[in-house]
Structure 1
Amino acid sequence: MPRLFTGIEIPADIGLQLSSYRGGLPGARWIDPENYHITLRFIGDIDERTAGDVFSILGDSRRRDPVTITIDSLDTFGGGRPRAVFARANGNGVLADLQSEQERLVRRIGLPPEKRKFTPHVTLARLRDASPIDVADYFATRGRFPKLTFTARRFVLYSARESVGGGPYVVEAAYPLG
């Protein structure tokens, strides 16, 4: 049973720059740069037939222009119980439009709606038992975050092995943007 999700790949040069933020945070499990991505729609563990339906329906995407994406800051999910460090991504509303379209497409084949609010980001580390003070110290020592901009010319359908997250991820299909 495959675990699938759609996303935007992070170019190697941007991944290298993001990887410079690895380290210095107790309780962090750092994601390997080759597994950096921006998740658009988590699909989850599905059967082979539904996976085939997902593969086909994503081809109906009408978004056909490349997307300029800027990664502009570091942040964390979890508030008082931090669970991830991430780099925030901004696509000037285009990423949200692309995600909304994919949400509509996968719901058309019977998948349940995504419950989480879409926040475009690149996960850098998953946190286990990290204290909020350690996380605040980590951010305080990182200084100003430079804007990193790239153009995405496709979105992809990824598969993942069953794990606690972080890869390895495999590109199962690619859909052009432009």
Structure 2
Amino acid sequence: MSKSGKESTGSERLFTAIRLPHHLQEQVKVWRDDIKRQLFFRTWTDPRDYHITLQFMGDVDTNTIPSVIEVLKEAAAKSGSFQLRLGGAGTFGRPASPKVLWRGVEGERGKLGLLQKTVADHMLPLGFRPEERPYSPHITIARSYIGSEPVQPLPNIENAGSDASWIATDFVLFATKFGRKPMYEVLQTFPFPYSYP
């Protein structure tokens, strides 16, 4: 039985995120295909799955999902659109065996951080605790380095002009579907009701 007293029908692995627009998925894919010739990772993210995580919730009882959606609607209603831009690249973990290859996020990061906090604050009454470490927005490109040489610092990436920018106008609730491509399925989109000045 779930906390609500209803018989559970299973669970979904959920998280909230801002999706990368299609034109930037393609732009990052070109860069990824080039870097693949230099770095060797076990798993490369499908470009259709590129995103900036807001909050990871883990396995959630399906009976709880309607409540999650209602709370996220409230969070979105307090938020507004903002500009983001692709940043440079880097890795998480030791240079000899980094766990993640990522692309950074620039632009109105303060407003992105405010949205992340708003989502986390709204999810807390449902029992979803935010991570204790500071929020570090990024786009995961690959996981689990399997190369024989330590990864050297990655060169700066020139993101000139508006081609690397976009306006975030919503966020989504994703469900992870292991073994599928793309692996993340949108359960609900939460548009922002207004634009920041």
The answer to whether the 8 A contact 1:31-1:166 is kept is: no
Tell me which residue corresponds to 1:26.
40
Structure 1 gaps of 5+ residues are none
TM-score, normalised on structure 1?
0.87
Q: Among residues 90, 114, 120, which one is paired with 1:75 in the alignment? A: 90
> Aligned pairs, how many?
173
In 2 relative to 1, CA 86–6 (structure 1 residues): closer, same or farther, beyond 3 Å? same
Secondary structure in structure 2 of the residue aligned to 1:146: coil
Please give the alpha-carbon distance, in whole angstroms, between the structure 1 residues aligned to 2:149 and 2:57: 30
Please give the alpha-carbon distance, in whole angstroms, between the structure 2 residues aligned to 1:41 and 1:166: 22
Amino acid at match of 2:81: P
Residue 21 of structure 1 and its aligned partner are, at CA, apart by 2.0
The answer to whether the 8 A contact 2:41-2:142 is kept is: no
Residue 70 of structure 1 and its aligned partner are, at CA, apart by 1.2
Amino acid at match of 1:9: R
Structure 2 gaps of 5+ residues are 1-10
Q: Identity across aligned pairs (percent)?
A: 29
Q: Say whether 1:13 aligns with 2:23.
A: yes
Please give the alpha-carbon distance, in whole angstroms, between the structure 2 residues aligned to 1:39 and 1:169: 12
Larger radius of gyration: 2
The answer to whether the 8 A contact 2:102-2:138 is kept is: yes
In 2 relative to 1, CA 116–166 (structure 1 residues): closer, same or farther, beyond 3 Å? farther
TM-score, normalised on structure 2?
0.79
Residue 112 of structure 1 and its aligned partner are, at CA, apart by 2.7
Amino acid at match of 2:66: G
Q: Deviations over 1:15-40 (max 9, x none)?
A: 11111122121234211111111111
In 2 relative to 1, CA 94–43 (structure 1 residues): closer, same or farther, beyond 3 Å? same
